[in-house]
Structure formats: structure tokens, C-alpha cells
A and B are shown apart, each in its own frame.
Chain A
Amino acid sequence: MSALTFRRPSRIPAAPLAIVIGVTVGALLILASGGNPLTAYWAILIGALAPASLPDALNWAVPLVGMTLVAALPLRGGLVNLGGDGQLVIGGLVAALAPLYLPALAPGIAAAVAIVAAMVASGLYASLAAWGETRLGVPMLISSLLLSYPAVGLTSYVVGFPLRDTTTGLAQTVMIPRAARLATIFGPLNIGLILMAAVALLAVFYDRRTAGGYELRMRGLNARFAGYGGVRLASQTVRVMFASGAVAGLVGAIIVLGSQFRFHDGALIAPGYTWSGLMAALLAGGEPLGAIGAGVFFAALQTGGFAMQRETSIPRVLTMVLQAVIILFLAIRHGVTRRSR
């Protein structure tokens, strides 16, 4: 039945409709497990948007929006980077090790060096997947994902054995010196927020106002055509993946230098920023501004999820279900409207 009614492109914009569907499915799930959807959603709303919880929501949004950009940049050109986790931990580890093992530097410079080192390391690691596609012919969708596992394993080994903080029983590095930590702005917020905002603006500018951004969009619409039109696809793949990985490195550096002050095994990937970011990017089809909006929305949803779990007995993984339903609905609905044209 839905096939017939959905065949005509409706005037309701896709994303809000998808959110409504997601919220409805979530409500049904809550009802099925004996909860009250209204109180649950109210808890999410308050937990995300009340003035007291806003700093936490923003703090959660910084890495999530970062990982959204990691996914969105390649996606704009029709490429998929599934290796965000690996790039994230590489960046985090390098950011922690740089201030620990390089000679002491002045406060601002130490952090800057750590961030740049993290971005370059992650960027190079991500380019490895791109290089695998352009030189060896391994599809990047797979190589980026497969490269994630060795990165996670290696960083886990490094902080578990050779560079472990032996004074604690945990697999983590020692605390980084105060000089390399990011300055705080207000409450839990630090300079990372400003850095990420700048990167986000840069991504939007690149997408809309530069030749490179135009070429990337052309590739996303029709890669063959872009290739005939003179876009050097192979080098573009490597460049885009380097940028994507570098943003992942920045996210890792911001978390390590801004809030955790050490690299703790598993701490960067446990919150699942990578996959939520990928979903947000998919929600907007890789368009940076929309993706950033979607990333903020998911961050609000997840921060609210913590509050919901506290206030009601409903587990916060529900928000993950909501995100997945939204994406699935959009993917399917998009196909329907595409056919009707």
C-alpha cells in the first residue's frame, strides 16, 4: 500500500518526515516494553535543551559533528569512509604522545603541535585506504573498515604495554602535561568547540565556494562524467580521504587534550561517535551544512538519552534505534522519489 501512496513525490520534506517516523517507531517500542513514550521524550527534550544541560549537549556535539564531517566529506563525492574508528584512535594516541615525548614547549604551542601531529597521522592513515583503492584496486568501502581493526589493536597494544602508565592498573598513557591541555571556555566547554566550529565553516566554504568542492560534488552526482570533465579522480580520492582522516585526528586530539588528558584504551570509540556521525552524514547526503545540523540533532538526541535513562527506566540505546530508523526510512523513501522522476 505504501508503494502506491509514496510513489508521488510528496511536498513534505523528507528529513522531518523521517524524524516523525523514527519518533513514532521509538514510541511503539517504549509502549511495547511497558513505558510511557511521552515522559521518555519529555526527558530527552529537557535533558538536551534545558539551559543547565546545554553545555553537556554542546560538549557531546563537538566530537559527533567532527565525525559527521569525517563521513560527510567523502560522501559528498560518493565515497564512503567506514574507518573513522581507526583514524580517531590514531589521532587520539598521537595527540597524547606528542606532548609526553617531545621536548616541553610553551603552553599554546604544545597543544597546537599535538593537534597538527594528530591530524597528519590520521590523515595519512586514512589516505592508506584511498591509496589501496587507487593503486591496488581494493574497494575503499572495505579497506577503510578493515584498516580500522589494526589501528585499534595497535593503539591498544601501545598503551597496554610499552607506553603504559604503570602507576594505574588501566591500559592508558600517563597524564599529559598541563601546558598541552586545551584552554577551557566555560564549564565543560573548551577551545575544541571553537576549533570544530572553524573546521565546520571551512568545510561548508570548501563545498560551496571552491573549485575543489565543485569537483567533489560533480563526482558525487556522476563520477564518470566528472572523470571525463577532467577531474583527476585518483588524486581526488587520496586528497579527500586525507582531509577526512585529518578531521578524525582532530576529534581524537580534542577529546584527549580537552577532556580526558590521556589516551585511555577504548575510551574514544566506546561512545560510537563514528557510526552516529556516518548516520548524520547520510541523513544529509553528505551536504556539509545539513550534515552538521543532523550531527547536532543526533548529539542532542543522545545527550537527552542519558537524561531519559536517569529519569525513566528506558535505556538510552533507544536513541540509536531512532537514528537507524530515520536513516532507513530516508534511504528507502529517497529511492521511491528517484524512481518517480
Chain B
Amino acid sequence: MTSFITPSLVNSAVQAMTPILLATLAGVLCGQVGVFNMAMEGQLLVGAFAGVAGSYFLGSAWAGVTVAVAATVVFSLILAYGATLFRGDSVVICIGMNLLASGLTAYLLRQMFGVSGTFSDPGIVGLDKIRIEAINATPWIGWIFSRQTAITWMAWIFVAVLTIVIFRTSVGLRLRGVGEDASAAEAMGVDVQRYRIVAVLIAGALTGLGGAQLSLGGVDIFSEDMSAGRGWIAVVAVMLGRNHPLWAALACVLFGVADALSVRLQGQGLPNQLTDILPYVVTLAVLAVSHRRRKGGVYLETITARA
């Protein structure tokens, strides 16, 4: 067992999980106020690109992170206003946003840095890894938390913060009210639209942070479509966790374990084309099992692209 699960495996799994976890928290926050956000794939990409651009031009990793968060918040304005004030269909808006992110980052990559595919440069300053000797020496805890970026630490702190805010504060009560019954919340004097807009923008900031971790938290490069399905996994995690931050985080851990397992199996000589699909198969299986209660149901919500 110990030879199968090594400290470095656990460590890299936690590192790889961070962008997904942050995107998941973003999805949870949006879900709580009744906005279906599935644009995290694009938001992560925008964050990753802006992070690299900021770090490269400003010469500091944290400047990059700031730019990433700011850019993703601006990008999230499309969903924040499109799905509330303009009452667009969030599914259509999110699909559009994902494609916009993919096209725009690829375009800017060529125009700003003159490369296509991947941009790597010594000028990109990556995030520092936090080393605390007392923690590093402890088994398990040390494996998990040693040599992680500050964003990874923040992500797990945010899980706790979000849980407390949503379920233990008056702001959280109103948030949940907006999501559960908007007209009732409106009648109670809650500005539904403002809650939704602010929640979507905060979610954008969280995903932007995740994007920065993706590009600056280890590889220090940007490559086209580098979010590579992580935003979609986050959508699934939100669904599995039923908009509860703790359960959704647990779903992320599950995915992280499956991912680490696939890396391990690859080490045993299995081709990566096969091991790569393991996380998706596990996710599908868990989805199928967890949704069994609604067996035989047909979803009645339909999307409206045009009347």
C-alpha cells in the first residue's frame, strides 16, 4: 500500500486538484443563488492566461495572480449581467463564454507573445511553494501540505469559509433564499438581482485564482485550452455535491484520487490513453449511483435559445 501511494503522488494530486476545487466552489456559490454556471472551463482559461501575462509583464507572481483574478471577474460580467439583468439562458451564455475564452486566449497568445500552442519563458515568475518544516515532517499531513502554493492553502480555507458563510450567517441565509425562492426573497426585501450579480462575480474571482494556480502554480507556462476539462469536472462536482461546499469538495477529492490512481497505473505500464479516461468513468459511475433516487426521471427544464 505504501509503495503504491507515495508522498509525492499525494502531493501532486493535491496540487492538481486546486484549480478544480476553486472552480467547484465558484459553481457552488452560483448554484446557491440559482444561477447555473458552467462557464468555469472558460473562466479557468482566462485566469490562466491573464496570470501568465501579468506575471510576465509585471515580473511578479502575485501581480500575475491579481491580474488573473481581475480579468476573470471582468470576464464573468457577461454571465453576471447576462443571466440576471438581461435574463439570457445561462446554458447558452456559458457555452458562448467557454468558446470566447478559448478563442480569445488563443488569439491574444499569438498577438501578444507571437507564439501558438504554448508560451513558456523564463520571464514568467511562478508562485512560491510554502515550506513549513514542522508540517513537512509529519506523515500524511506533510505529504498533503508540504510544498504547496499559497493558493492551494487558500482554496481549502475557502471551503471552510464558504460553508460557514452560506449556512451560518445572515448573508448566507439571504443567498440561499435567493436560490430557493427568488420571489419570496424579493418579497422579504432582498435585492435578488444584486445578490446574484455579486455572487457570480465573487465566483469569477475564485475561478480566476484557480486559473492562476493552473498556469503559475507549478508549470509556469500557458498553453491553449490548458484548462483541459477541469471546468467541466467542477460542474460535475457541484452537481454531485448538490451545491453544498463540503460535499462538492469531497467530490473533488474523489476526482483527485481517481486522477492520482490513473497516474499510478500509467507508472505500471498501462498506456495513458486508457488511464486518462479513468477519472471520467469514475465520475460517471458516481453520478449514476448518486442520482438513482430520481430514477426514471426526465428533466423538464429545457433551454431556450430563441422563442
Contact = CB atoms under 8 A, between A and B. Distances in A.
Nearest to B276: A153
B260 to A, nearest CB: 17
B93 A331 contact: yes
A133 interface: yes
A146 B301 CA distance: 20
B302 A223 contact: yes
B102 interface: yes
Which residue, A141, A219, A222, has most C-beta atoms of chain B within 10 A? A141
B298 A315 contact: no
Interface stretch (B80-88, B134-142, B183-191): B80-88
B154 interface: no
A312 B106 CA distance: 17
Nearest to A225: B300
A338 B87 contact: yes
B271 A335 contact: no
Given A79-B302, A321-B100, A161 B271 contact: yes
A88 interface: no
B99 A137 contact: no
B273 interface: yes
B222 to A, nearest CB: 14
Nearest to B287: A138
Contact of B274 (A135, A157, A328): A157
B93 to A, nearest CB: 5
Interface stretch (B6-14, B17-25, B229-237): B229-237
Contacts of A45: none
B294 A137 contact: yes
B110 A331 contact: no
What does DSSP make chain A's interface, helix, strand, loop or mixed? Answer: helix
B57 interface: no
Given A142-B236, A328-B93, A137 B82 contact: no
B298 A233 contact: yes
What does DSSP make chain B's interface, helix, strand, loop or mixed? Answer: helix
Which residue, A153, A234, A287, has most C-beta atoms of chain B within 10 A? A153
Contacts of B194: none
Interface in B96-137: 96-97, 99-100, 102-104, 106-107, 110-112, 116
Contacts of B281: 150
Interface stretch (A58-66, A104-112, A242-250, A278-286): A278-286
A75 B82 contact: no
Contact of B296 (A80, A157, A234, A317): A234
Given A146-B283, A149-B229, A336 B87 contact: yes
A324 B103 contact: yes
B88 to A, nearest CB: 4
B298 A138 contact: no
B306 A285 contact: yes
A335 B95 contact: no
Interface in B248-307: 271, 273-274, 276-277, 280-281, 283-284, 287-288, 291-307
Nearest to B293: A137
A245 to B, nearest CB: 17
Interface string B13-41: 00000000000000000000000001000
Given A134-B298, A335-B87, A78 B304 contact: yes
A286 B43 CA distance: 26
B99 A237 contact: no
B201 interface: no
B93 A334 contact: no
B87 A75 contact: no
B78 interface: yes
A195 interface: no
B298 A133 contact: yes
Contact of B95 (A282, A320, A321, A333): A282
B91 interface: yes
Contact of B107 (A149, A284, A317): A317
A194 interface: no
Interface in A300-341: 315, 317-321, 323-325, 327-328, 330-336, 338-339
A150 B103 contact: no
A14 interface: yes
A223 B299 CA distance: 9
B96 to A, nearest CB: 4
A331 B295 contact: no
B285 to A, nearest CB: 10
Given A80-B91, A138-B291, A145-B232, A282 B305 contact: yes
Contacts of B164: none
Nearest to B114: A313
Contacts of B303: 75, 78, 80
A153 B277 contact: yes
A133 B235 CA distance: 16
19 contacts: A14-B306, A133-B297, A137-B294, A137-B296, A145-B232, A146-B280, A149-B276, A149-B277, A227-B300, A319-B103, A324-B96, A324-B103, A328-B100, A330-B306, A331-B93, A334-B89, A334-B305, A335-B88, A338-B304
Q: Which 9 A-B pairs have the closest CB atoms?
A: A78-B302, A285-B306, A320-B103, A335-B87, A324-B100, A335-B88, A153-B277, A137-B294, A137-B291
